Copies of this chain bind each other. A is one copy, B any other.
Amino acid sequence: MTELTIGIDIGGTNTKYGIVDRSGRVHLQGNIPTTQFEEFQDYFDAMASVLREGIKQLPANSEIVGIGIGAANGNYYTGNIERATNLKWKGVLPLANMFTSEFGVPCILTNDANAAAVGEMIYGNAKNMKDFVVITLGTGLGSGFVCGGVLLNGHHGIAGEVGHTSVNPAGRYCNCGKRGCLETYVSATGIKRTVYKLLADHLEPSELRGISFDHLNTKMITEAALRGDIVAQEAFEYTGRILGMKLAETVVHTDPEAIFLFGGLAQAGDLIFKPTIRHMEANLMPLFRGKIKVLPSAMQNQAAPILGASSLVWDFLDKKKSVLA
């Protein structure tokens, strides 16, 4: 019997799903548009339907042992998505209970960055680590903490929101309602805002002057920087400086072995890693200097969110076994 898990990543635009084995092989995957459904129940029914179809296609000797879901504002303890600002369905969505009722297997829900952290531990570069942080750099900045080999969930199930620590209380407006949050500077959106700030402040010519805010993306900024564009290079230095300064604060909280950077911005390589590490070291309490690795995530592919979500189930089953043993 081959044990398989379902991994679901609920994004504001798309929901990705896949069926994954313990080694991380994705046997089947697909996606449905999250935005297409006015009613949450219709969305759930559509998801249940595509998953049932998927399960029918599996070999006879396979068994689904659980469902993992990563979603912004997913609460590990309640299994609910609560007050998500990126979804049109308001209130409390009891997703884990609904999937468990429908499929008769455990369903583990947490926020997408926490799922990325468990994914890094089960399939990625943190396989032999017990204390590390994953920073996801997408539309926003997410973070997941593993401490002593255990995902840090916190008392209310919402630990790991370092995207909403403060860079400048009078700074950029944030979706969360505050101003100056880290994610308004360090994320795919943050670096775009920085490029526009630099274009406004400075006189240097830049190939980015011809691109609208709506069209600008991390890949364009990265390529411009690699071609020597001064504004693009300065945008990475500015982003790395702020990320490095804030990571120095995160480090003294939980003392991790490593911090993994995940997402498009992390794929810019030295452009982002070099200033981040330099400014982290410069701002670290001396006791910690030279001790903390800043590394790229191993999960840099299309299936990463599915693997992260599916890893929640393996982690849950592993820990259950070790308690029962």
Contacts and interface: CB of A to CB of B under 8 A. Distances in A.
A256 B154 contact: yes
B287 A253 contact: no
A198 interface: no
A73 interface: yes
A152 B162 contact: no
A250 interface: yes
B248 A158 contact: no
A156 B255 contact: yes
Contacts of A283: 166, 169, 178
A254 B154 contact: yes
A164 B287 CA distance: 10
Given A147-B147, A155-B130, A245-B166, A178 B285 contact: yes
B249 A249 contact: yes
Nearest to A285: B164
A74 B266 CA distance: 35
Interface in A287-302: 287-288, 291
A129 B155 CA distance: 9
Contacts of A257: 155-156
Contact of A176 (B130, B131, B285): B285
B131 A155 contact: yes
A106 interface: no
A165 B288 CA distance: 12
Interface of A: 73, 83, 129-132, 145, 147-148, 150, 152-162, 164-166, 169, 176-178, 181, 245, 248-250, 252-257, 283, 285-288, 291
